[in-house]
Amino acid sequence: MSSKRLWRSLNLSGVAESKPSRTGRFRLLSKLSQQEIVNFELGNSQLSKPFYLMPKDSPRIRGTTQKTEEAARRLRRNLTHAEALLWSALRRRQLVGLKFRSQHPIGRFIVDFYCPSCKLVIEVDGDIHTQQQAYDDARTKQLQSFGYQVLRFTNEEVLSDLQTVLDCILQTVQASFPPELGMPPKSTNPGGL
């Protein structure tokens, strides 16, 4: 069932409380499982509280534009080899349970990796970054002025010694959030490597 038809059926039953956007695309904001949606469509649902539908094109972060978010999606599909290697070690909360996002838009910038709980930005710099050093420095200063902590690694560092890169990230996180503040490391082997 398309999201527009689902919205209409939910609206007729008094469950949905928002109107469709011009595009008609929605995402469910509740914690409904796929089985609960199927049960609702078949009339076997016992939904006790309403859930909300929200237009997919609504902004998540203040200052981002739809163009920036589309660029981030494209970059996520086309990670460099070094970014893909680091992402495989950071994704799915493998590094002491921290959630990282890949190619995440922050304002008008798209950062390589971002941890929202620590406000930590990780950048992997390739060959192009040697030519745009002034831009990268200005970007880092602006992100730091908004309270983000920025770590930069070269492609060579990530490709040749991933464990050292993960240790550096872990040390930065632990320095910012020591165990007494409630973020003890969940394992002694960062990244599960």
The C-alpha atoms of residue 158 and residue 162 are separated, in whole angstroms, by: 5
Summarised one tens digit per residue, pLDDT across range 83-134 is 999 999 999 999 999 999 999 999 899 999 999 999 999 999 998 888 899 9
At 38, list the tokens.
């199927």
Place of tokens 């409630």: 182
**Is there a single domain that holds both residue 141 and residue 100?**
yes
The whole-angstrom separation of Cα 36 and Cα 137 is 49
Residues in the chain where the model's pLDDT stays below 50: 7, 9-60, 184-185, 187-188, 191-193
- Which tokens sit at 14? 């008094």
pLDDT at 82: 97
* Shared domain check, 88 and 166: yes
Give the number of other CB atoms < 10 A from CB of residue 83.
22
Is residue 28 packed enough to be buried (19+ CB in 10 Å), middle (13-18) or exposed (0-12)? middle
Structure confidence at residue 4 (pLDDT): 53
Q: 36 and 120, same structural domain?
A: no
Residues 135 and 181 in one domain: yes
Phi–psi pair at 149, nearest 5 degrees: -100, 130
Cα(121)–Cα(90) distance, integer angstroms = 12
| Residue bearing tokens 């039953």 | 13
Task: Let me know whether 71 and 124 are in one domain.
Answer: yes
Identity of residue 13: S
Taking the alpha carbons of 169, 145, 110, 107 in that order, is the dihedral positive or negative? positive
CATH of the domain at 78: 3.40.960.10
Q: Which domain holds residue 152?
A: 66-192
Q: Which helix (H) or strand (E) is 54 found in, with range? A: strand 53-55
| In a shared domain, residues 48 and 132 | no
Apex 32 CA angle, 15 and 186, nearest 5: 145
The pLDDT value given to residue 187: 47
Give the count of beta carbons closer than 10 Å to the beta carbon of residue 192: 10
Q: Give me the pLDDT at residue 180, please.
A: 56
Residues 50 and 72 in one domain: no
Q: Residue 21 corresponds to which tokens in the numbers above?
A: 């956007």
Residue 61 lies in a domain: no
In a domain, 60, yes or no: no
Strands (E), 82-148: 101-106, 109-115, 120-125
Structural domain includes residue 102: yes
Q: Is residue 148 part of a domain?
A: yes
CA distance 36 to 42: 10
Q: Do 22 and 81 share a structural domain?
A: no
Q: Which pTM value belongs to this model?
A: 0.63
